[in-house]
Amino acid sequence: MSVVYSEELFPEASKVDIARTKTYLKKFVKMKKALEDFEQNPPETEKQRNEQAKWKRIVRNIERAKEQILQYDVSVVIEYRFIKGNSRAATILRFSSWGCCDKTIDRKIEEGTISIANTLKYLE
């Protein structure tokens, strides 16, 4: 007798998941800096400890999800834009040497965001 599973092996992120991932990516550097501060100055309240645990999980999962991006160019753009915390304009300027227009860089950012959202879907 075989068992049929209704869950997908690699689930697709919904629009809500993608929007949440965009928010996480925009706040990534701030969360990472806060975690570094918590290492220097341990949390004093239960609320701070809860935030620290939540941010630690989010940061770790985003870093893992970024490593799962298969296309090298998308991975590099996502790292420069969100992991290193550069602006959209700086990212476009940095990768203009690839011969890509700003719309192409925006598509790579969108592809990377969706890839991270898909990976977060099964990591969480």
User: What is the spatial distance between Cα 124 and Cα 111, in angstroms, rounded to a whole number?
Assistant: 20
Separation of alpha carbons 92 and 98, rounded Å: 10
The pTM of this model reads 0.86
- Domain extent listing, the chain: 15-44+69-123
pLDDT at site 6? 46
Q: What is the pLDDT of residue 52?
A: 93
Provide the 3-class DSSP secondary structure of residue 115.
helix
pLDDT the model gives residue 71 = 96
Which amino acid, one-letter code, is at 20?
Answer: R
pLDDT of residue 49: 93
Q: What is the pLDDT, as a whole number, of residue 123?
A: 84
Q: CA-to-CA distance for 39 and 103, rounded, in angstroms? A: 39
In the chain, which stretches have pLDDT less than 70?
A: 1-8
| Phi-psi map region of 7: left, alpha, beta (phi>0 left; psi -120 to 50 alpha) | beta
Give the pLDDT confidence score for residue 34 in this predicted structure: 93
